[in-house]
Each structure stands twice: as C-alpha cells, then as structure tokens.
Amino acid sequence: MTVPGIDDQVEEMLDRYRARTMATLLAHLPTGGPRYLYDLVADYPRRSGKGLRAALCLAACRLAGDGGEPDEAAVNVATTVELFHNAFLIHDDIQDGSEQRRGAPTLPAAYGVGVALNVGNMTNLLALDRLLANRNGLGSGTAWQLVEQTRLMLRHSLEGQAIEIGWIRDNACDLTPDDYYRMCLKKTSWYTCIYPCRTGVLAAGGGRLRPDRLDRYGWYLGAAFQITDDVLNLVGEYAAYGKEIAGDLWEGKRTLILIDFLARCTAGERDRTVAFLGTPRADRTAADVRWLHRRLTAYDSVEVARRAARELAGAALAEGRAVLGDRAGTEDGRFLLGLTRYVVDRPR
C-alpha cells in the first residue's frame, strides 16, 4: 500500500535528483573506443531505476550545507555513488546468474559473462574518475576523506557479498535473523544508505553535520529496503518489480523470509528445502521452486519479514528525527523522513 501524499513528494525528489545525477553521468561517459564497453556502461543507468543512493547523497549535502542547490562537486559525488551502484548490479547479476534487471535482460544474459564483467570493472573505474574530479573544487583534505569513505564502503560491501555467497556455497541452513542483519549491514546498508549520506555531508564542506551522524538512520533504512526487496522478489508484480519473480529462490539466497521458514517448518519440509538449496541452480526445477514459494507463504514468513521491515523503517524515522532536529521540516529533511515509509511501501 502506498501513501499518496508522502510517496508523491518522495518520488518527486527522487526524480529531480536522479535527473541531475544522470545528466552529469552521461555527459562524462567516454565516447568511441572498442565495442561492448562505453555504450554498455550507460545501459543500466538508462533503465528506470529509483536513483535512491544519489538522492540520499544530494539531500544529505543540502542538509549539511546552506540548503542551496547542490554544486558541481556535490553532483560529482552523487554520480560516483550512482556509478558504483550500477557496477555492483552488474557484478551481482553475474554472481547470481540473474536473468532480468529493470524489466530487460541482464548484461550477462544478453552479452555473456566476459563482456558484463569488463563493463562492471569499467563502471567502477569511471566512478573513481568522478570522485577524483573533485580534487580542486573540494580541496585535497576533503577529497582524501571521500576516497577513504569509498575504501570503507567497498570493503564492507565486498565482505557482505562474501558472507552471502559463502552461505550459498556452504549450503548454510542454520542461520539466525541476527546473521542476516549482520550481512545486510555490510552488503546493503553501507553502500545504499550510509555511504551516500556520509559522502553527501562531506561534499557540503562540513559544519552542520558530522559525516557519521546519519549512520544509524542509514543502517535501519538500508535493512528495511533490503528486506522489502526480498519480499517483492516473492510477491511483487513483475511489471513493477522489473526482475524475475522468485529469483531469490532459484539463486538460493538466504533471506530473512527463508531463515524464518527454516526455523519453524516440519522436519520433512526442512529436509526437502535443505536438499533443494544444496542443488546447483542449473539442476533446480520449477516444481521445487513453486513448492518452496507456497510453503513460505503458508507459514506467513513473508509477513514476518514485512513486519521486520516496518519496524526497521520506524527505527530509521526515529533516528532521522533525532539527528535532523529543526531541519526535519526542510524539503530534504521531509524527504529523508518520508523515505522511511516509501522504502517499505514501494512496488519496486
């Protein structure tokens, strides 16, 4: 369910900041060169993504600064955030064997793993190019802090990815919600929310906020976002969601939904699920995926995850209000607080 007033305002801000970021991203993409490279770097960004991460960066920048429109340096930082995000999506699609992304075939599905891997690597390089373009505008001290925050984000994200991939490889089936939350903090919250907020504050030149003041807001918001994504993967509408429904089951991802089910199902159901998860993706059958999908629904594990997402979103709202104080009533303050409802009510 959506909340028209709040969601409309949030989507308007997302669209505005996405347009500003995309203009810079596309303007600085190299032209020419070998086939299957620069033209494909623009592929995922041109698809209809939300632009959440870049928007968080620019909103945090305005909240930490004088409230004026973001300058070129701030937009460069937001573009860096957006490029890293798209590079991660490409590499995720390779690692997960995903077939659909934003309503179209993934790059590895359309062009093969080799081409997609190279495009993802180039996208990461171009993200660093935009970051280093700020050396003169922000000064060497702030530019170095941005590099350090980027190093931290990359390390946390890669560690989180390693945890998730390791669970699949080892067929881990005795995980707890706390295990999931620790993975989620590293894999999702850091690069989706904490990093954009920290770099946005730094791009403002400091003063009104410390770079880490929005960390707890970002942790809760990122976790609520990820759990909602897990829910949409099972019960979302393909036309809105843009990725294959039940793709997480085909991939064997250890979501909060699956963890809850494994903790409460019968011994026979658990044995069948463990066997399914231990089967290589190529050997899994549609019948087994449908069976597991029905069991997750029958046990209300999807609803358990929805409740957890709402609780985390509520915690993000409380943290945001506490940090923002009188700035909560500004355009960007309302945006950050409105996101806490938007991320759990969104259709995609």
Question: Cβ distance 77 to 200 under 8 Å?
Answer: yes
Measure the CA–CA gap between 159 and 163, rounded to whole angstroms. Answer: 6
For residue 268, count other CB atoms closer than 10 A to its CB: 8
H helices within 171-266, ranges in order?
Answer: 177-184, 195-203, 215-235, 238-241, 247-251, 256-264
271: CATH: 1.10.600.10
**pLDDT score of 3:** 47
Question: Cβ distance 119 to 107 under 8 Å?
Answer: yes
What number of residues does the chain have?
A: 348
Assess whether pLDDT exceeds 80 at residue 244. no
In 3D space, the residue among 133, 120, 106 whose CA is nearest the CA of residue 24 turns out to be 133
Percent of the chain residues past pLDDT 70, beyond the cut: 95
SS3 78: helix
- DSSP code for 326: G
**pLDDT score of 346:** 86
Over residues 205-214, mean pLDDT:
85
Question: Cβ distance 253 to 168 under 8 Å?
Answer: yes
**pLDDT score of 32:** 84
Phi, psi of 100 (to 5 degrees): -125, 145
The model carries a pTM of 0.92
**pLDDT score of 26:** 94
**pLDDT score of 1:** 42
Structural domain of residue 218, as residue ranges?
A: 4-345
Question: Cβ distance 153 to 131 under 8 Å?
Answer: no
Give the tens place of pLDDT for each residue, 279-327: 999 999 999 999 999 999 999 999 999 999 999 999 999 999 999 999 9
Give the tens place of pLDDT for each residue, 213-235: 999 999 999 999 999 999 999 99
How many structural domains does the chain have?
1
- Three-state SS annotation for 135-165: HHHHCHHHHHHHHHHHHHHHHHHHHHHHHHH
Give the tens place of pLDDT for each residue, 141-159: 898 999 999 999 999 999 9
In the chain, the largest separation of any two C-alpha atoms, in whole Å, equals 64
Please give the mean pLDDT across all residues of the chain.
93
Q: How far is CA 118 from CA 41, 68, 112, 184, in A?
A: 10, 38, 10, 26
Give DSSP secondary structure letters for 96-108.
Answer: HT--EETTEE-HH
Lowest-confidence pick of 37-46, 107-116, 203-212, 297-306: 203-212
Choose between 6 and 345: higher pLDDT: 345
H helices within the chain, ranges in order?
Answer: 4-27, 38-41, 43-46, 52-64, 72-96, 107-111, 113-132, 135-138, 140-170, 177-184, 195-203, 215-235, 238-241, 247-251, 256-264, 267-277, 286-298, 301-324, 331-345
Assigned token pair, 82:
């957006």
Measure the CA–CA gap between 130 and 24, rounded to whole angstroms. Answer: 9
In 3D space, the residue among 301, 250, 261 whose CA is nearest the CA of residue 93 turns out to be 250
Assess whether pLDDT exceeds 70 at residue 243. no
